[in-house]
Structure 1
C-alpha cells in the first residue's frame, strides 16, 4: 500500500469550524457532497445501512450520476454488514467503493480486530475538508436515544486541505487509479483564515507514534491549562508522566472521560489510572449524559487537536488514525467553551479515594498498572502484523453469496 509523506511543519492560512455531534456534522458533509463538482474522497471506520447511511448513500449516488469521481473507503471490521443492494447501486453508478482489510466471519465472529482503518476524513474537490471522530451511523444524532454519542469534528478550508487531499488519494487509490483520475492541483489553495495547522497521521510503518508525540510536546509546553476529552483513555507511561508533570508545576490539567460508557471495560480501564493522576493534581470529570465518543484536546490559549485517535493502546499503537493540530486562539476559545459547558452541566468530578484498610492493595494495583502502561507500546509490536489489503467492490462480485467479495487492489 502506498503511503503519503507528511510534514510536521505548521501550515498557515486555514479556517476551522468546530462541528459538535451529528446534528452539526452530517448536514455540512452531505451539503458539500451535493455541491461537489469534480471529486469526493471519503474514509470512515463505520458506515451502517440506517437513516444516516441511507442519506449518505443518496448524496454519493447523485454525485456519481452527475459525473463526480467518488471514492469511498470503509473498514472491514467497522462496516461488516452492508447489504448487496446498498453497494450495488453505488458501484453501478460509478462509485469506487473499497474495503480496508475485509474479513470473513468464523462461527459468526469477526476476527480481523487488530490494525484497523479508524480514520474519518472527507475531502471535496480538493478544497473543503472534514476530519474528526464521527462515523456514519444513526447513533451520532440525539434522537437515537440515551445511547447517542457525544462527539466532535471540524470543517476545514485553506492550504492544509491540500495535505489531507494528497494523503487520502495516496492511501486509497492504487497507482493506475491515480494516473487515470488526476484531480486539479490544490497546492496553491488560498489562505482562508488565521489558523496554523498540522495534519498528522498514525500508521504501522513510518508514523507509528506521531499523534501521541504531538500530544506530549503540547503537554510539555503547557503553562496555563490542559483539557483532554477522550472516549477511550489508557495511554502509555510517557503520556501519563507528562500529564502529571504539568499538573505538578501548576497547570490546570482536566480530563473528561466516559461516565456512561458504551463498553463497561472502558470505565474500568480508565479507573485504574485515577489514583495515579489525582495524586498529581489532575482533575477528572466523568461525562454522564450519554456515551462520550470525542477525541479532542486543548492546551493553553492556542493549541488544539481534533481527530479520530483515542488515547488507548488500539489507537496509539495499532490502528490507522488521523488528527489535525490547530494553533488558533479563536478555535481554542470555542472548543474550551464547549468543553467547559460539558464539565459544568453534564459531568461528575471524580474525588480522590479516601484511605482505607485496603490502601496497601490499592497502591500495589496502581504500581502494577503504571508499569503495564510503561511497556505496552513494545508489547503492541508483538501482536499479529500483516499487510492489510484494500479491496475494490465490483458489481459482478455482489451477485455471489459474499456481499463484500472483491478483488484486491
Structure 2
C-alpha cells in the first residue's frame, strides 16, 4: 500500500512537472483568463461546493472538532465570493515572471540580467482550510507554478469539489488541468512521500498547527518555507490612547479567533495599568473572552490565573493571556521569550517608543496603533496569500506572487569567451 501511495504521489508530481513546463511559457493574458474562469466557476458552482462542505462540517461536529477548527473549515456564499474575488485581484496584479531584479552591462559588453522565474512544482500541506485550496491554486498559477495540494481529511469533500471546479476552469481556459492536483488525504504517508520527493517537487509549504509545521520542516528533504503559528501580542504602552487601545485589543482578539493573526496575549505598561486593566477586563469579558492573567489582572473578578504554559499558547479561541509589565523593554523580552515571530503590535502616542519597539521586536509583521488582524496577504495588496512565513530566508510575512518565484541569471554575449587563467 505504501509503495502504491508513493507512486501515486510521485506520478502526480511528474504530471505537475509537465504542466509547469507548459505554464512557464504561458502569457500573462492566458493566465489571467484562467484566473477569471476559475472565479466564475466558483460562483456558478457554489451550491455543489457548499453541499460538499456541509458533509465535512457534519463529520467534523460528529468527531468533536473544536469550534475554532470548524470555523476554519466552514464555507459560505460570502466566503466563496471572497476567494473568487481574491482570484480576480490576483489576475489584476503584475506578472512576477520575467521581472528584472537587477542587471548591467559588463565592461567587456556581456549583458547580465537577474530575472524572476517560477519555482516549478509547489506542494502545499494544510489543515481544515478549504480557502487555502483556492488561494494556493490561484497564486501558483499566476506565478507560473503547478500546485500539489495535500489537504486534511477533515476537508476532503470540500477540497475535492473545489479542485474539480478549478481543474474544469483551467481546461476551459486552455491550460493544463494538472496545474492543480489534489493528493490523497487519508494516509499520513502521502505527506511523507510529497515532502521527500526531491527532484520531483521544488518547494513545500506547510500551513496549519505547530505539530504539522514542525513535522514537515524536520522531515522534509524538499526545500520548505516555514509558516509559523501565531502567538501574537498587543502591548499597551505608557503613552497609549486608552480608547484606541481598547478598540485594537478587542479587534485583534475577537474579530476572528481561529486565524493565526488573532492576538493571544496582552501586555500592559504598569503606568496605565490602574486605569486600563479594569477597563479592558470588562470589555473582553463582555465579548465573552476568558482572561488568563497575572497577579494584577486576577484582582479583577472572573480572571483565571495564568500558568507558564499560557504565555506561549496559541488559543485559537475566546481566550487571552494578560500581564502587566514595568517597561517597554520588559514587554520586548516577554515577546522574545514567548512569541512565535508572527505579528506584534504596540499602542502608543510616543514616537520614540514606537521606533524602539519596531526595531527590537523580531517578528514578520510589527504594527503601531493597528490591529494584528491586518497581517493578511489580501489586505497587503497581494490578492491572496499562500501562507505567512515566520522564517527569515527567502520569504517573510504574508507570501504572495513574488515569494513563489526564484531567479535566474540570463547573460547575452557576442561570442564572449573567458581567457585562460
Q: TM-score by structure 2 length?
A: 0.27
Q: Which protein is bigger by CA-based radius of gyration?
A: 2
Higher helix share: 2
Query: More relative contact order in 1 or in 2 (CA 8 Å, sep 6+)?
Result: 1
Higher strand share: 1
